[in-house]
Amino acid sequence: MVPAVAGSLLVAVTYQVMLEISFYQWTAILAGLLVLFENCFLAQSRFMLLESIQILFGLCGILCTIKSTYKTGVSSVIWLCVAAVSLGCCFSVKYSGLYTYYLALFLVGRQIWRQVGSTESTLRLALAVLWRLIVLIILPVLVYVGVFYAHLAMLPKAGPHDSVMTSAFQASLQGGLASITRGQPLHVAHGSQITLRHTHGRTCWLHSHAHVYPVRYTDQRGSSHQQQVTCYSFKDVNNWWIVKRPEQPSLAVARPPDAIRHGDIVQLLHGITSRALNSHDVAAPASPQSQEVSCYIDYNVSMPAQNLWRVDIVNRDSEDATWDSIRSMVRLIHVDSGSALRFSGRQLPAWGFHQHEVVADKVITHQDSIWNVEEHRYTKAEDRRERERELVSAEMIPTAVTQLTFWEKFAELQYKMIAHAPDAPHGHMFASEPPEWPLLVRSIAYWLSPNSNAQIHLIGNLITWYAATLSVLLYSVLLAVYAIRRRRACADLPIRAIQQFYDAGYIFFLGYWLHYLPYYFMDRTLFLHHYLPAYIFKILLLSYVIDHIYFILHIHEKTKPLTNVFIVCVAVWLAYVVLTFKKFSVLNYGNVNLTESDLMNLRWKDTWDFILHKKG
């Protein structure tokens, strides 16, 4: 519903933008019509997709920026504020909205630059720069942060993608991890049973199992043949470890609990196999430059256990901070070698069940060497009942729901969004490449009716599409010609017209490339709908170029009779655009059962893939 409204409003906004630039109202109407009869905007706004909202906000922002640059005084301030809010909304919808924001910044910058060239006093100038910058930077950022605030406030419950976030983040949501961790003790102590989560990057837990490293790897290096330690991406009973002070034999938690502090030396016993986490001067299986980490098995082969680890709490507030579950980020430093326990990112082969490798790395500052306790409980002694009652009544320190401030959550969410994006799979059936977009080589199938050949595609109006591409070329040629002519001091056009020509260029031409070029440098799967924000600028450019040609024909005496011919041509072309739109709209509404020959009729390019149900 919202995208549909946004899509409808787009036509009106396009009209307004064009009106700001052009001399003629007809051009604005033409631009509006072209957007109206464009299949791709129709398809995009009929579904719950973000592009049409993004484009609407973006274009509104640009419109208001233009209005603001033409006005002075209070109305200029108001328009710029509206523009800033609108642009903030635009890039809060999708990050590609940032390009629109840059365009607006550029437009305002250009206006300031013009003022610098006028004879205003320096003080006034500085003020003008200052308030514009403040409005353009503060407001969008406020909107952006506000949107995230609303997002987090409205989504307090745990959901399916929790495990992407850190333990602390998850624990601050209702349900999910919080329901497990609520009521678990806060301070890790001697005898604590814990699971250790790799904090940043891939979600996995320190893991071991009753299998040993193969004696020789495929590249003929030897291993210690001790029990494997890995990082496992799923919850498992083998993820439990017991924290133990080296000098204390009993595993039961003392009363009061003997809390582990920053700098303490501990051993970690694997819960199921009771073997201690160990590292030694043997190359790790997949990253030979680091040390192997294993659970120690005493083979009596002059390879003593080196199973002492120093707890290094990264986010401590004091030097004797306690090791808290969830909250503390720790580095485990191997005492004998000084290296840090680290997730290496490499996957082990079949003998390691394709789990991830854990090593001890000499470079201790890497962020993959940070871990945190996720689940936590105190070990109960043999005499369970008594212990249990004691623990419940006295020693158990119930934790409140972890309170992360909004800013911490915000920062984490930003980081995850940036780090997460490149994971998209490659080679999607309907993926396309940026060079294919201007000629509409591929379409995207959105929906196919299960029992007929009715289907919905994201596909553009080919006539407009080609004309728009042509207009970009034409504009570039005109730009070069005018620039060269002007360099030779030849004035072809009246000052106002040339001014308008450059204005249109800065907004539409630059806007187009600003929304299009960056995709060439993106290393991810791209689709046709990424092109739509650029395409709206292209349509505007197209109507401007038509306007400009009319104007040229009009001002020269010789060519004046041709204007009527030109108008007729445009009218015929427009009619053709409307017809094409009508023809292809069956692929946007998806309400008509198409026969095979219908589809073949619509398939104007043999690179377009429509879907046919097999007969029988």
Partner 1 sequence: MVAKKPRSISTSSNKVWWMVFAVVCGATFLTRFYKVLEPDHVCWDETHFGKMASWYINRTFFFDVHPPLGKMLIALSGKLTGYDGTFPFEKPGDKYDSARYQGMRIFCTTLGALIIPLTFLTIWEMTKSLDSTFIGTILLLCDVGFLTLNRYILLDPILLFFMSCSIYGAFKVRSLTDEGYGPFSTRMLAWQIFLGASLACTISVKFVGLFVVLFVGLRTVADLWNVLGDLQKPVSLTIKHLIGRSVTLIFIPALLYVFFFWIHLTVLSKSGNGDGFYSSGFQARLEGNSLHNASAPKLVAYGAQITLKNHRTGGGYLHSHHHLYPAGVGARQQQITTYTHKDENNRWIIKPFDRESVEGVVVVRSGELVRLTHATTGRNLHSHRERAPITAKYMQVTGYGEDGIGDANDVWKIVVSGGKDGEEVQTVRSRLMLIHYLQACVLTTTGKQLPKWGYEQQEVACNPNLRDKNALWNVEDNVFDDLPKVSFEAYASGFVERFLESHAVMFQGNAGLKPKEGEVTSQPWQWPINYRGQFFSGSAHRIYLLGNPVVWWGNLLFLVIFFIIYVVNSVREKRAEAFGTLTQDGKERMLLNAAGWCFVGWALHYVPFWAMGRVLYFHHYFPALVFSSMITGILTEYLLSSVKSYLSPELGRTMYHCVVGVVISTTVYSFYLFSPLAYGMNGPLAHEPNSTMAGLKWLESWEF
What letter does residue 519 receive in the DSSP assignment?
A: G
The gap from C-alpha 249 to its chain's centroid, in whole angstroms, comes to 50
CA 92 to chain CA centroid, Å, is 11
Shortest approach of partner 1 to residue 115 CB, angstroms?
A: 10
Site string for partner 1, 591-610 (x = CB under 8 A): ------------------x-
CB of 377 to partner 1, least distance (A): 31
Partnered with residue 447 across adjacent β-strands are 456
Residue 484 or 575 with smaller CB distance to partner 1: 484
- Shortest CB 355 distance to partner 1, Å: 14
Which of 580, 13, 464 is CA-nearest to residue 5? 13
Question: Is residue 426 close enough to count as binding partner 1 by CB under 8 A?
Answer: no
Cα–Cα distance between 614 and 616 in angstroms, integer? Answer: 6
Q: 148-160 burial, b for 16+ CB within 10 Å, e for fewer?
A: beeebeeeeebee
By C-alpha distance, which of 496, 485, 445, 532 is closest to 41?
A: 532
Beta bridge partners of 195: 240
Q: How far is the CB of 582 from partner 1 (least distance, A)?
A: 29
CB of 270 to partner 1, least distance (A): 24
Question: Taking CB under 8 A as the criterion, which residues in 469-508 touch partner 1?
Answer: 484, 487-489
Q: How far is the CB of 137 from partner 1 (least distance, A)?
A: 18
Provide φ and ψ at 272, rounded to 5°: -80, -45
Number of residues that bind partner 1 (CB under 8 A): 25
Nearest distance in Å: CB 498, partner 1: 18
The beta strands (E) that lie in 245-348 are given as 265-270, 277-283, 291-295, 309-313, 330-334, 340-347
Q: Which is nearer to partner 1, 157 or 428 (CB)?
A: 428
Compute the least distance from the CB of residue 543 to partner 1, in Å: 31
Closest contact distance (angstroms) between CB of 123 and partner 1 is 13
Whole-Å CA distances, 265 to 247, 292, 312, 375: 10, 20, 9, 21
Q: Which is nearer to partner 1, 346 or 389 (CB)?
A: 346
DSSP H or E stretch at residue 133: helix 122-154
Subset of 318-377 contacting partner 1 (CB under 8 A): 343-346, 349-350, 363, 365-366, 368
Residue closer to partner 1, measured from CB, 24 or 430? 430
The Cα 616–Cα 605 span in angstroms is 27
- One-letter identity of residue 160: P
Report the nearest approach of partner 1 to the CB of residue 167 (Å).
21
Structure tokens at 268: 């970690």
329 and 200 in contact (C-beta within 8 Å)?
no
Among 122, 220, 302, 405, binds partner 1 (CB under 8 A): 122
Taking contact as CB under 8 A, which single stretch among the options 115-123, 148-156, 266-274, 394-402 is the one that binds partner 1?
A: 115-123
What tokens were used for 201? 């990057």
Tokens representing 108? 């305002």
CA atoms of 66 and 254, how far apart (whole Å): 71
Q: Which is nearer to partner 1, 124 or 255 (CB)?
A: 124
Is the Cβ of residue 126 or residue 237 nearer to partner 1 in the bound state? Answer: 126
Q: Which is nearer to partner 1, 33 or 348 (CB)?
A: 348
Question: Per-residue DSSP letters for 46-97?
Answer: TSS-SHHHHHHHHHHHHHHHHHHHH--HHHHHHHHHHHHHHHHHHHHH-TTH
To partner 1, the closest distance from the beta carbon of 518 in angstroms equals 9
Rounded distance between C-alpha atoms, residue 510 and residue 494, angstroms: 23
Residue 587 near residue 596, CB atoms below 8 Å: no
Taking the least distance from each CB to partner 1, the nearer of 304 and 349 is 349
Q: Which is nearer to partner 1, 271 or 345 (CB)?
A: 345
Among 119, 300, 403, 405, binds partner 1 (CB under 8 A): 119
Among 2, 12, 116, 571, binds partner 1 (CB under 8 A): 116
Q: Which two tokens stand for residue 580?
A: 């094409």
Task: Specify the residue for token string 């850190």.
Answer: 166
For the record, the structure tokens of 135 come out as: 């409005």
Smallest separation (angstroms) from partner 1 to the CB of 116: 5
Torsion, CA 494, CA 495, CA 499, CA 504, rounded to 10: 0
Of the pair 343, 550, the CB lying nearest partner 1 is at 343
Among residues 1, 237, 429, 495, the one that binds partner 1 under rule CB under 8 A: 429
- Write the binding mask 373 to 412 for partner 1: x where contact by CB under 8 A, - elsewhere: ----------------------------------------
C-beta closer to partner 1: residue 269 or 458: 458
User: Which x/- pattern over 520-549 shows residues binding partner 1 (rule: CB under 8 A)?
Assistant: -x-x--------------------------
Structure tokens at 122: 């320096």
Residue (301 or 429) nearer to partner 1, CB = 429
Between 116 and 555, CB nearer to partner 1: 116
- What values do phi and psi take at 229, rounded to 5? -125, 130
Long-range Cβ contact pairs of 567-573 (< 8 A, separation 24 or more): 570/30, 570/546, 573/463, 573/467
1, 73, 74, 113: which one binds partner 1 (CB under 8 A)? 113
CB of 118 to partner 1, least distance (A): 6
For residues 322 and 330, what is the distance between their CA atoms, to the nearest angstrom?
11
Binding site for partner 1 (CB under 8 A): 113, 116-119, 122, 218, 343-346, 349-350, 363, 365-366, 368, 429, 484, 487-489, 521, 523, 609
